[in-house]
């Protein structure tokens, strides 16, 4: 489903350029425009510290309509106070004028360094250059323009008999559920009412972006926005089929974010089974996913399951240590809270040589189950993040 | 207060040897013995997955008496099931016989790799060699014998006019409040009732070991045990003075653990002020202390305060982002949730060149305040922990 070529969704134009926000000639300004007013829903960061664009978009999305999204990388416009909000409004106004649409129908999104003011002049000049370049197949350029520490653009297209869903996303660090640190924009031509679209998006995010963790940090800018041009009726297969199609897009994009995780050498699937509740399963899975000791052991291809046991026990969930089973893929290493024996570590070590190992924990206390994607923690993560600002 | 030479507390003998538990000739078996039954209290890990010795000691300490503690490094005896508990009993029995005291008066403590069975034979042979070597000034040898990834032994002596308090500790990784991953043994000759000693220890741990975090991981083996030989009455200054003296010992030992944090180049003090409640202050401070992005920025000597804002916002505490102030030592970088300006980053960068920088966050919503010690996150932490097991 991952695509690198030109893709399009009926009713939408997109594009991306370099506006000089980042150093050098990197692309840093993108726009997605619907040819008519699009039914639009969003899910935003739950961080109490919210970027200006998050506050503005939450307000503007109360009507469920939008026609354009302006996105910049290179500056997060977070922790910038009233001026930040005013700056976000200013650039949305410039975009609205260039497009000849009402300002309230323009959403904005920013990603990059926290704390510096939005370069309004550069962005305004950029918008004037960007608008004439918008085209039906410009989504890949938009995807490249929203990258920060990403090493590849994240674009997905799901073309069904009835409708198309395309999504782009950015994110590689500061990734954790509720929300992951990322931006994601999804376009569809399927005709869907706002309330239905909102709940479909929320449900889809729950199963995808809320199930990945790179480093346990959570950003101020996370936003997932879906726009529907409404050109195609849903068809016989109805909303259930749309939900499945949307889930495929968000799931694949969330996988791509973990595949591009800063410094990571491995994508790791954590499955927690046999929990009393879904919340318990989530807490255990997240605790394992953020443990530096578990993540460094995976980097070292070391089946050091004691660290997984310690993480489970410190999750705050009531567990019986004598019931816990742990597997690396099919290799059992812990049975009833103890070492499984029989050379299991040697076989588990082979599993860990894979670049996509799976850790399965069975708490054996209930029936709830949850899957989370994470990655290993490496020296390159430190290098990337010790040097990011200066 | 940190001492490297020979220290002693009236009424106690101690010692340490190599029993062959670790590879090579590293010391790995220690013992602390009181010449009479000691009033003894302990604080143990809150991890739901508990090492065998924690379960055994919690049971044996119900009577508040103990006469000897046997400690091994090189094997955590955690996640070893019923056999692990039986093994802990076995080695305590051997120690009891050698010392000629009841088995129930012997505590054990283990630290090292999780999941492998205790080498009972090696330890039993070691005990027979160790007991004759015990001496009043053997505490420094004991401190060396309990080290794992520690780079220096942690010994503190607080000698007052009325009484002495000595403490030894180990710990460098898997350190986080409730409990930090560590062992600590404290000896005093002060005459104190059990209930009073218990509450003094609990209070002291709250202000020291529960206020440090290296990596957010929490071990299965954490134990802090205090023994009192009761030779010296408390004197005129009473329990308050004892509490202060004990606090000095635990505080200094907890500082030493952070100073020895795996791979760290800096000790970092985090002070959260102006919180609505102490719990809020703790949650914000801990969230900052475990954030890989904050910790790598400190390693990079980069005043990237946006990451601190993001961490505060994701702590789950209700904060008003427009009220938050942030300082690096005396250099303000954030005022009312926004960049302070005036070249503050350049001055903050100078603060971060120190090997003991301080981050002060004022939430400006209440009066509660909490101090937490942590460290930076470096490539060496990854190296140490990716290679520990194999």
Residues with Cβ within 8 Å of B279's Cβ and at least 6 positions away in sequence, in order, are none
Confidence of residue B125 (pLDDT cuts 50, 70, 90): very high
Residues B219-273 have pLDDT tens digits of 677 777 888 888 888 888 888 888 888 888 888 888 888 888 888 899 999 999 9
Q: Which CATH number fits domain B267-386: 3.40.50.1820, 3.40.50.11540, 1.10.287.1040, 3.10.20.340?
A: 3.10.20.340
Residues with Cβ within 8 Å of A236's Cβ and at least 6 positions away in sequence, in order, are none
Residue A79 and residue B317: Cβ atoms within 8 Å?
no
Tell me if residue B95 falls in helix, strand or coil: helix
In angstroms, the CA A322 to CA A15 distance is 56
Residues A251-287 have pLDDT tens digits of 888 888 888 888 889 999 999 999 999 889 988 998 8
Residue range B108-122: mean pLDDT, rounded: 91
Candidates B307, B333, B387, partner chain A, best to mutate (most A CBs within 10 A) = B307
Nearest to B200 by CA among B41, B371, B62: B41
Kindly provide the ipTM of the predicted complex, given to two decimals. 0.73
Residue B297 and residue A81: Cβ atoms within 8 Å?
no
Q: What separation in angstroms does the CA of B304 have from each of A22, A203, B88, B286, B339?
A: 17, 34, 48, 18, 11
pLDDT, position B98:
97
Q: What is the DSSP secondary-structure string of B74-86?
A: SB---S-HHHHHH
Q: What separation in angstroms does the CA of A256 have from each of A143, A152, A184, A221, A360?
A: 13, 9, 12, 19, 21
> What is chain B's mean pLDDT, rounded?
88
Residue B113 and residue A306: Cβ atoms within 8 Å?
yes
Q: Say which of B40, B45, B111, B181 is annotated catalytic.
A: B181
Confidence of residue A225 (pLDDT cuts 50, 70, 90): confident
Work out the angle at residue A264's Cα, subtended by the Cα atoms of residues A76 and A23, and round it to the nearest 5 degrees.
Answer: 35
- How many CB atoms lie under 10 A from the CB of residue B193? 12
Please indicate if any CB of chain A lies within 8 Å of the CB of B47: yes
Q: Where are the domains of chain A?
A: 12-257, 267-386
Class for the domain spanning A12-257: alpha beta
Class for the domain spanning B12-259: alpha beta
Residues B165-223 have pLDDT tens digits of 998 988 777 666 555 557 888 888 888 888 888 888 888 887 777 777 666 666 677 77
Residue B388 and residue A48: Cβ atoms within 8 Å?
no
Please indicate if any CB of chain B lies within 8 Å of the CB of A377: yes
In angstroms, the CA B107 to CA B65 distance is 10
Beta strands A65-73; A106-111: pairing state:
parallel
Per-residue pLDDT at A368 exceeds 50: yes
Q: How far is A215 from chain B (nearest CA, A)?
A: 7
Per-residue pLDDT at B93 exceeds 90: yes
Quote the distance between the C-alpha of residue A390 and its chain's center.
Answer: 26
Q: What is the chain A residue with the closest CA to B377?
A: A382
Q: How far is A144 from chain B (nearest CA, A)?
A: 24
């Amino acid at each position: 489903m991952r695509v690198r070529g030109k893709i399009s969704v009926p009713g939408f134009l997109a594009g991306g350029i370099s506006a000089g926000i980042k150093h050098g000639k990197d692309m840093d300004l993108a726009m997605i425009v619907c040819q008519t007013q699009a039914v639009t829903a969003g899910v935003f960061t739950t961080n109490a510290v919210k970027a200006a664009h998050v506050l503005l978009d939450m307000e503007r999305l109360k009507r469920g309509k939008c026609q354009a999204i302006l996105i910049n990388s290179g500056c997060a416009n977070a922790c910038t106070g009233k001026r930040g909000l005013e700056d976000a409004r200013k650039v949305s106004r410039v975009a609205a004028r260039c497009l000849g649409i009402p300002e309230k129908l323009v959403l904005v999104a920013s990603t990059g360094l926290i704390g510096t003011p939005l370069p309004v002049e550069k962005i305004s000049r950029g918008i004037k250059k960007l608008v004439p370049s918008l085209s039906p197949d410009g989504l890949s350029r938009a995807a490249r323009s929203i990258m920060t520490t990403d090493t590849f653009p994240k674009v997905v297209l799901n073309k069904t008999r009835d409708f198309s869903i395309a999504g782009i996303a950015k994110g590689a660090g500061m990734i954790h559920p509720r929300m992951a640190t990322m931006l994601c924009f999804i376009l569809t031509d399927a005709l869907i009412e706002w309330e239905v679209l909102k709940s479909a998006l929320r449900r889809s995010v729950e199963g995808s972006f809320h199930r990945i963790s790179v480093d346990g940090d959570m950003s101020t800018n996370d936003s997932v926005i879906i726009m529907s041009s409404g050109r195609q009726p849903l068809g016989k297969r109805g909303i259930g089929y749309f939900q499945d199609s949307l889930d495929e897009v968000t799931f694949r994009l969330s996988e791509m974010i973990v595949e591009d995780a800063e410094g990571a050498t491995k994508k790791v699937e954590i499955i927690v089974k046999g929990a009393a509740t879904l919340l318990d399963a989530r807490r255990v899975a997240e605790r394992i996913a953020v443990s530096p000791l578990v993540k460094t052991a995976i980097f070292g291809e070391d089946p050091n399951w004691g660290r997984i046991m310690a993480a489970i026990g410190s999750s705050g969930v009531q567990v019986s240590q004598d019931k816990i089973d742990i597997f690396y893929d099919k290799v059992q290493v812990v049975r009833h809270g103890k070492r499984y024996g029989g050379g299991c570590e040697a076989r588990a070590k082979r599993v860990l040589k894979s670049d996509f190992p799976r850790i399965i924990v069975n708490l054996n206390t209930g029936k709830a189950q949850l899957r989370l994607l994470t990655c290993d923690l490496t020296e390159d993560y430190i290098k990337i993040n010790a040097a990011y600002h200066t």
